């Protein structure tokens, strides 16, 4: 919500002009995050005039880097979708289609295969789409600095590095800024249905979604999808000396890499973790850890360079529930703690007022271990359990609070 002069950013720019040989263009990252998350763009709601404005900005960055357009109309790849937060799935067919816009650019190294680097640029707009976690979201600007101006800035920084390093990798690169992610991975799903390049020529996909909140003391970085290729984990381990990495093998998760995984493409998703500003108007640029983001991008550059000497990666299916194709009919109104240790339940990082969990007396810090008769060992179990319920259903939720176990009634 705040329009601030971006002091920490300006200081960083000063420091970095002195270190021009760096691989990661920090001034560019600060500029991109600051602009995309400014009030001027009204939270970049999918299909809005503000989304178009952000798309134009991203296309201009691609053009300045002399990258080839790879959309349907220049850099733009428009797709139709039907969405209304207040209308149930079954009657969505009658809605008037809207248009969302992905933005794509290509670095042609005349190679056989291509690496996709993606980040969604849409966010919750003015809180009208039903995906805000603010208690009264309507007409508040959801700036989405971490989610996901940070990822777009990272994607553009990698594009900058890869197009100016004077080196021809053994892969081409396709950079995609997705829209419609917040409404259910719409832009990435649509692109994977009618892609600009053959899917079987994609070596692997890197997704940057929320990489701006590295905790300076824990240095915890979450990397999803490591099980989708047999080379990912060893390559990351080999190149990492800075982060405390929490690995997740699953190719399915709550972001755009899922769309690629479901097309049998190895994927990696980088994520600095949940926070209390998630999907709220307070996800602002002054809370971004730019130094942390720089470290993440350095690691990704090392990974790309390291994997470049290898053949096209072999794809592995991972053990996971099929969340990518499920659209949930109900919500509890909680924010899962994705960094919580698996197999102990699903820890709640935040509770939205007025939603079923809050009404049932659930609090931040509670660990869900059972929903109805479904045992919940982790976030995936929870998602799967949620898929069994319809709006209006009554059931019980069993939680651990400290050393106590409590069961509460809940209605969706
Ligand atoms: Zn996101």
Q: How far is the CA of 18 from the centre of ligand 1 (A)?
A: 33
Q: What tens digit of pLDDT does each residue of 26-76 get? A: 999 999 999 999 999 999 999 999 999 999 999 999 999 999 999 999 999
Percent of the chain with pLDDT over 90: 70
Q: How far is the CA of 149 from the centre of ligand 1 (A)?
A: 9
Structure tokens at 31: 């500029």
Q: How far is the CA of 210 from the centre of ligand 1 (A)?
A: 6
Task: State the Cα–Cα distance between residues 10 and 8, nearest whole angstrom.
Answer: 5
The pLDDT assigned to 252 comes to: 87
Q: Where in the chain is the domain with CATH 3.40.630.10?
A: 7-307
Task: State the Cα–Cα distance between residues 301 and 162, nearest whole angstrom.
Answer: 9
Q: How far is the CA of 81 from the centre of ligand 1 (A)?
A: 19
Task: State the Cα–Cα distance between residues 225 and 214, nearest whole angstrom.
Answer: 19
Element (H, E) at 350: strand 346-351
The pLDDT assigned to 16 comes to: 47
Categorize the per-residue pLDDT at 282 as very low, low, confident or very high, splitting at 50, 70 and 90: very high
Q: How far is the CA of 144 from the centre of ligand 1 (A)?
A: 8
Per DSSP, the residues of 149-188 read: IIHHHHHHHHHHHHHHSS---SSEEEEEEE-SGGGTSHHH
Task: State the Cα–Cα distance between residues 408 and 263, nearest whole angstrom.
Answer: 40
Mean predicted lDDT score pLDDT of the chain:
89
Q: What tens digit of pLDDT does each residue of 202-254 get? A: 999 999 999 999 999 999 999 999 999 999 999 999 999 999 999 999 998 88
Q: What tens digit of pLDDT does each residue of 97-115 get? A: 899 999 999 999 999 999 9
Q: How far is the CA of 402 from the centre of ligand 1 (A)?
A: 31
Q: How far is the CA of 404 from the centre of ligand 1 (A)?
A: 34
For residue 383, the number of C-alpha atoms closer than 13 Å in the C-beta half-sphere is 18
DSSP annotation of 222 = E
Q: How far is the CA of 141 from the centre of ligand 1 (A)?
A: 16
CATH code of 334-411, in short, is: 2.30.42.10
Backbone angles phi and psi of 278, in degrees to 5: -55, 125
Q: What tens digit of pLDDT does each residue of 288-337 get? A: 999 999 999 999 999 999 999 999 999 999 875 444 444 456 788 887 77
Q: How far is the CA of 130 from the centre of ligand 1 (A)?
A: 15
Q: How far is the CA of 377 from the centre of ligand 1 (A)?
A: 24
Q: Where in the chain is the domain with CATH 2.30.42.10?
A: 334-411
Overall CATH class of domain 7-307: alpha beta
Across the range 177-196, mean pLDDT stands at 94
Q: How far is the CA of 185 from the centre of ligand 1 (A)?
A: 9
Structure tokens at 265: 């493409």
Element (H, E) at 270: strand 267-271
Q: Kind of pairing, strands 202-208 and 267-271? A: parallel
> Which has the closest alpha carbon to 102: 173, 195, 204, 31?
195
Q: How far is the CA of 263 from the centre of ligand 1 (A)?
A: 20
DSSP annotation of 21 = T
């Amino acid at each position: 919500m705040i329009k601030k002069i971006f002091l920490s950013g300006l200081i960083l720019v000063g420091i970095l002009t002195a270190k021009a040989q760096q691989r990661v263009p920090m001034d560019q990252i600060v500029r991109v995050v600051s602009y995309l998350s400014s009030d001027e763009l009204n939270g970049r709601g999918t299909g809005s005039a503000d989304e178009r404005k952000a798309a134009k900005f991203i296309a201009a960055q691609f053009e300045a880097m002399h990258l080839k357009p790879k959309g349907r109309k220049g850099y733009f790849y428009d797709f139709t979708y039907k969405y209304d937060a207040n209308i149930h799935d079954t009657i969505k067919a009658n809605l008037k289609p809207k248009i969302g816009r992905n933005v794509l650019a290509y670095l042609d190294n005349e190679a056989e295969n291509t690496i996709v680097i993606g980040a969604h640029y849409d966010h919750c707009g003015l809180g009208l789409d039903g995906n805000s976690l603010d208690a009264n979201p309507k007409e508040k600007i959801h700036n989405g600095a971490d989610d996901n101006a940070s990822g777009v800035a990272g994607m553009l920084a990698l594009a900058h590095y890869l197009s100016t390093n004077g080196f021809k990798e053994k892969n081409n690169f396709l950079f995609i800024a997705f829209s419609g992610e917040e409404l259910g991975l719409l832009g990435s799903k649509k692109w994977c249905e009618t892609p600009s390049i053959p899917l079987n020529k994609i070596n692997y996909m890197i997704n940057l979604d929320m990489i701006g909140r590295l905790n300076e003391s824990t240095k915890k970085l979450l990397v999803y999808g490591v099980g989708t290729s047999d080379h990912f984990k060893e390559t990351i381990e080999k190149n990492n000396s800075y982060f405390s990495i929490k690995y997740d093998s699953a190719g399915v998760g709550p972001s755009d890499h899922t769309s690629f995984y479901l097309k049998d493409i190895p994927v990696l998703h980088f994520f600095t973790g949940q926070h209390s500003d998630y999907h709220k108007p307070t996800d602002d640029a002054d809370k971004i850890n730019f130094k942390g983001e720089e470290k993440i991008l350095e690691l990704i550059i090392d990974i790309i360079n390291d994997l470049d000497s290898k053949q096209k990666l072999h794809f592995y299916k991972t053990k996971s529930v099929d969340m990518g194709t499920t659209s949930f009919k109900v919500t509890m109104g909680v924010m899962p703690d994705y960094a919580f240790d698996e197999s102990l339940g699903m820890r709640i990082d935040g509770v939205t007022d007025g939603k079923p969990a809050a009404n049932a007396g659930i609090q931040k810090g509670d660990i869900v271990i059972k929903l109805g008769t479904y045992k919940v060992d982790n976030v995936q179990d929870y998602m799967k359990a949620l898929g069994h319920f319809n709006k209006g259903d009554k059931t019980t939720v069993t939680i651990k609070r400290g050393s106590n176990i409590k069961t509460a009634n809940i209605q969706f």
